[in-house]
Amino acid sequence: MSRLTGRLVVASHNSGKVREIAAMLGPFGVEPVSAGELGLPEPEETEATFIGNAALKARAAALASGLPALADDSGLEVFGIGGDPGVYSARWAGPGKDFRAAMQLVWEKLSVTGDDRSARFVCALALAQPDGSVEVFEGEARGTIVWPPRGEKGFGYDPIFEPLGLSRTFGEMTHEEKLPLTHRARAFEKLVASLK
């Protein structure tokens, strides 16, 4: 656990994500600081996997700051359309982050390919040290794509994702209800277990 005591760069410019990570790591004596606060550039995500992109972002932040850095990469994989949008989940929403259009595109493609509406959200967390070493932890949440979208809570593809065994989408759940079911929470459980 000593490797994470003190300051930790959260390789993100998203203040909400930084707050969420700070809350999860607070009990370990970690002081998260965002890449945005340190003025670190966001590297281009050029890898073909969630793990590859998370590691790329964490390593860049650790090398630039001289501090341990944590990055995540996450997205939605829909099995009936070959795992798309996958690592391109954010890009499907375009520069304006229009996830209504992205959800519509998922549904249109799914309508053409057939019946398999099974899907999963994936989160890869990468913890990098200034020496360039990286540890990676992956979590997933499995479910089904529903249409039309339901719920105004959450973000991204939440309104079309219904977790296995439940009858509400992530978009219909409060943050407190959704959080323990998420891919990010499951990846964090693995990270936290490695610190004990």
Question: Catalytic residues, which ones?
Answer: 73
User: Cα–Cα distance between 61 and 41 in angstroms, integer?
Assistant: 8
Ordered DSSP codes for 124-183: EEEEE-TTS-EEEEEEEEEEEE-SS---SSS-TTGGGEEETT-SS-GGGS-HHHHGGGSH
CA nearest to 51, candidates 119, 134, 130: 134
User: Cα–Cα distance between 99 and 101 in angstroms, integer?
Assistant: 5
Counting every residue written for the chain, the total comes to 196
Q: What does the block give as tokens for 182?
A: 């998420």
Q: What does the block give as tokens for 12?
A: 């993100």
